[in-house]
Amino acid sequence: MLYAFELSGEHEELPAAEVLACLKIEELDFQPHTKVDQCLVVDIVGKVENVEKILKGPITERLAMTHHILKVIGITENTLDAILILTNSFESSYFIKEGQSFVVRAKSIKHHVNFPSNLLEPKIGGFINRKGFQANLTNPDVEFRLILSGKAVLGTLISSINRSAYEARNPQNKPFFHPGVLVPRVARAITNLSKIKPGEFFLDPFCGTAGILIEAGILGARVIGIDAQENIVRGACMNLSAFELNYTLVKGDARMMPFKDGTISAIATDPPYGRSAAILAESLEDLYSCALEDIQRVLKPGGIAVVVSDKDASEYGKQVGLEVLEIYFQRVHKSLTRRVTIFQK
């Protein structure tokens, strides 16, 4: 069965990478099918009820850079004729039951259509109405969604991601604030990219105010943080406690961590950037090379470490035997481009 993920436009690649990581975490049997601007379609094999239970439950809870998940009715060329043929001819019984009401919503991504997309909702609604279903614009049983991107993807809504929950956890809303924090959506996405599962040990060796640890803790991981500054560690405690999470925090040095070899399942972290004053190391080079060496040491074989930096971290990781799986670039502003480097031990 095909499922579509309506992705946020905050990055070209990260939202799709986050979806694929979450599907792997949940051990779903899937193949990527179609990728267009802000929409990823995936073919998931398995009993539909089981698959949808996982999509509606843990996957919806985990994702940060997706808006909606759809069960796909069809994918077609982005022309008015092709879309109308698809919407007129699909087999409705798979998507809407007798007696259920519906609404149609069309979403145009950037400038992918050259016809007035607002006319499509009533037109498609008319077709579905003629199949014997009543429209209900305020409280429908089924929402049909048409995504107009590089292709047109039609589906029914399975679930929506509660993106405002991430806004509510913005750094300014936490008890302890310190500048230079990743926003919770990015922190959650990189946590997902680390493929951490509930109950496993998750480490942030440069934990700062615990923005990443909070996202991992909400996912049920056993979170461990290290930071070199005592006041920051105290602040991180306040922030983690505010979310009633269990945690272990250490005032220490990411270059010499007090953990045994091969004990940590996953790591996600953003070490200090070049201009940061708060660096405990002889130089930034020393910090990156020694910290990545210790990250490699404490990670379990096969474990993932996600490092967010303004500096190229990949060479430091390779030198200590970590494999670079992926690097994503994210332009923050004119003078800052972040790199998200995914390493595997």
Ligand X SMILES: C[S@@+](CC[C@H](N)C(=O)[O-])C[C@H]1O[C@@H](n2cnc3c(N)ncnc32)[C@H](O)[C@@H]1O
Interface with ligand X (CB under 6 A)? 178, 180-182, 205-206, 208-212, 226-229, 232, 253-255, 270-272, 278-281, 287
**Residue 88 to residue 90: CA distance in whole angstroms:** 6
- Rg of the Cα atoms in the chain: 22
Smaller CB separation from ligand X, 158 or 342: 342
Under 8 Å between Cβ of 190 and 221: no
Query: Taking the alpha carbons of 24, 204, 307, 171 in that order, is the dihedral positive or negative?
Result: positive
Give the nearest distance from C-beta 22 to ligand X in angstroms: 21
Nearer to ligand X, 15 or 211 (CB): 211
Least Å distance, CB 139 to ligand X, is 40
Please tell me the distance from the alpha carbon of residue 126 to that of residue 159, in angstroms, as a whole number: 24
Q: Which residue is nearest to ligand X (CB)?
A: 208
Cα separation, 34 vs 5, whole angstroms? 11
Residue closer to ligand X (CB basis): 18 or 227: 227
What's the min distance (Å) between Cβ of 248 and ligand X? Answer: 15
Interacting residues of 241 by C-beta distance below 8 A, sequence separation 6+: none
Q: In the bound complex, what is the minimum distance in angstroms from residue 85's beta carbon to ligand X?
A: 50
Comparing CB distances to ligand X, the nearer of 5 and 206 is: 206
Task: Write down the least CB distance from residue 32 to ligand X, Å.
Answer: 30
Bridge partners for 106 per DSSP: 146
**134-135/101-108 β-pairing:** parallel
Nearer to ligand X, 4 or 210 (CB): 210
**How many Å apart are CA 100 and CA 140, to the nearest integer?**
8
